[in-house]
Chains A and B, each alone.
Chain A
Amino acid sequence: MKRQSLSYFVALPALLLALSAQAHDPKEHMKEAQAPDCAAMKDMDHSKMDMKDPVMQAMMKKCMKAMHKDEEGSHEAHGDKGQTGHGNHDEKADEKKPAKHQH
């Protein structure tokens, strides 16, 4: 009996600790993750965009990743078998591709 109650004393704080650690793991938020609305970038005034601005650079990075992922998805949907080397693209290649779609 004593052992059982002792195990509750140990297990409960351990469970609470594990849950609190999980709550702030970014992966927990992935369940409700929204995709970036990159189409909105097309409506922005490009003449006022400063490509050296970290905000603009961050948006470009985010949308390049998203568009690259879309492309991968559409390739898979079309049953493209020639995509085995796709995951080996380096960062620069990733950035160049969607940039063409942006402008």
Chain B
Amino acid sequence: MTSFKFLSCFKCLAVAAGVAAVTGVGFLYSGLYPMGADDHHNDLTYWALETLRERSIARASNDIEVPTDLNSSERLLAGGADYNDMCTGCHLKPGKTESDFTLGLYPAPPNLTLTGDRHGHEHAGDTDNDDEAIKRQFWIIKHGIKASGMPAWGPGHDDQRIWNMVAFLQRLPELSPQQYQILTARGADDAGHH
């Protein structure tokens, strides 16, 4: 009697799972989900994707070792020039509050001239200066994030060059436009920093 109940319950679950799978695949093929970047996700989808992203990055970046000399002037100079060349279009610079990319990308790229708790993204670390947040930044620059507009810089840049950018990010929120200009300008003899 008990085994009969278990069997019918199992059948119910199997049927329910089958219906859910068919409905899900049907929805995928229906083309009903809006994919335009100007048509935002509903709260549930956004939460699910954000949780998926943050948990994945936290797990993947857990074993990264942070260099002890991250707060050195040489790293700031090298990382600053690269940040200016590669990142400002999306992540801005002191004195700039928006760009075509910040207006058009979805999810909007974080404004890295603000500290982690001010640029409006839910993620590890209350500020940008704890180890977890630093590892997270390194991992994201190196590997990028799928379907977000954030490319993986790892294939063209070695780890030291990426750490230089991470070093610069730690000080970026406190820089004035003038300080930023001096730190990031590539003089004619600047190639030696890399």
Where the two chains meet, the residues of A that have a C-beta atom closer than 8 Å to any C-beta of B are 20-21, 23-24, 26-27, 29-30, 33-38, 40-41, 43-44, 54-55, 57-59, 61-63, 65-66, 69
Contact = CB atoms under 8 A, between A and B. Distances in A.
Contacts of A41: 178, 182
B72 interface: yes
Chain B interface, >50% SS class:
helix
A61 B153 CA distance: 27
Nearest to B171: A55
Interface size class of B (residues with CB under 8 A): 20 to 34
Interface string B47-83: 0000000000000000000000001111011001110
Contact of A69 (B156, B181, B187, B191): B187
Interface of B: 71-74, 76-77, 80-82, 85-86, 153, 156-157, 171, 174-175, 178-179, 181-183, 185-191, 193-194
Contacts of B175: 55
Nearest to A40: B178
Contact of B76 (A24, A38, A44, A55): A55
